[in-house]
Structure 1
């Protein structure tokens, strides 16, 4: 599951830079690198593409695009490349790179180990760096930083090439850019809580109640903490920038398209009502439909409550979905009510997810606790939901990113992703949380806005 928020920042990375800048955007990086004659390590070599596995910390013009590190002019810029190995040992490192003009001196580091090299090749070639000792299995970070240069650019780097004992077919990294996997890999893996609904009510759930608490420091920009997901839509909170946060409720159209302009009138999502200060419109790119959001300064460390309702009409074959939001110390707020055509269903396939929608923040960890889940049937009966299955998206399932976590934290479920932590949780496990031991929340449904 991926978020619908569009990001102009990442689109600019894909468009490329002007002709006055480094030309890594147009370089042919599909050729097989030349053999590295002075490798000490033996065994298979792996080329880890920076386009899907690197991030650059800079205050200047450096960027990571599909071809790797481009516009490398600033000695203060640090480019970090990540991969995971299941074996410790000696690894030999090289860079596939070029220096457009002059000579460039740079260093490659991991942990306390650092090697300085000078390169002057004006076309892409393999530049040997040296040997590094990997002391434990798990995620490894290599940093690349410029020291001095005689030309305008330090260079363009497409791949970190590794060989040695740790290099086996179990090394984890974004291995290809099919279906834009470099982009999704840099966003990082999405992880999900798929709730187990008792058979007695699973076809008759009218309301779903859930709570989220994001631990302090676990809410970097680009995070989407989705609470109430169902077969036709989803509802949660986002960190959209350093100054803006949102409560977001979206509903897909039954017409399959990434372009909302192509949806026929009889398949469009219809807004029934919305709350005060709530923005509404359409979304596209990952399916299309109706979207609503409230700009709201929610804070890490506090608990927020989410309530969603489905009201199907078998005669018209339409279903109305409504979502409400409440802070721990406040009242219920209507986000929006949408009508979905060609739909006659209650709430099914209930789930939560955690994702990052900003590829520049895919190397930062995030975490959330999801607790006190209740399903309410059409007769008003409350059922506490205490079981779930932990799953991930395509990037997680392929093992391109293994920094995924989920399970039970006290009497809550939790999700964790990003940051390249090594203590991953195996996907497709089931978990059961303890009951809260309390009566269900009290809601005056007749008085909701």
Structure 2
């Protein structure tokens, strides 16, 4: 009988006893490093880039953020852009999908705790359904990105030619569905600010990718509204509300700003740009106008939207929409002196509220610490720096033009924020989902709050 090599045995043992999110965080790091080294190959770039440039770009791609320190159009060759698109696709699949794939591919048996967490996180009742959901995810990704690329060809091919137009369409479809925000155009999508196809297809892709695979599967498999789970209802209502707020306030605040909406003469063009920029802010990070030209009030609004982010088990980052919705429901219950939190005829458990509190607390500490460190080590406007940190945490990719001003240390800080913004909340959620029954109960004490 042939014995397996000792390193393989040791690896399987380590994977078997290590929590899936922790393993996958390591795999994310490995993917970032490999991506950075790949981008350093001579045929990947048209000009020499530093290791810092390569690692920052790889981190931004794997975490589907979109912050860039190099010009994707002119600095990268076709092969470099292909590597970038591959990193975006792998990063956009998400931790939970990777968990099922890795564990299934290696033939590992999940422990009860790991299995339970993954099953509950993806809202499934059995491991077989969990596996089916993974293949559903692949089908959704494939169909959405192919359809998106075909439609985007209608806009990109007439402007750039047959071959380049096809590649621009494929790249933007992958980038949009995975909420990455990378573009193969130096000026982003500003040249297509009023193009009807771009303004419909790109938002459709990143909204579909941002609401989460569980929601997509729920909508596809269950009866309208009453058959949907509480998570799906909260996610859809929260997403709709944030879209209305983002688009409406963008139009109101920027209507007469000559650097953004007011550069367009017609009301229809202004509303089109307000639609695209207001809806892309939470997750995708594309731009059809000058982000550096936004009013301070609009920038502050966008920071809040970026920190909120997309949905759980989606291609987006941030705190997640359902986290904020549960926080608001808990606050409302407190002021109404209710002892139970509920929505749409379903109650929300105390453990979920505690998880929300922990996620918001750790996000606040991370954002504050990163902003403080960057302000202490860099010259620059407070709003520009804090906007950059919020964009990195929400893995959005919008910038007021400050990314190029970062030192190597500043890039490292932003890379850490991008990584934790994508990986950290889910990893924390794993440990929060592991219930530990206390052996000792203490008498209740009084603490004065507020």
TM-score, L = length of structure 1: 0.23
Which structure carries more strand by proportion?
Answer: 1
TM-score, L = length of structure 2: 0.23
Q: Which has the larger radius of gyration?
A: 1
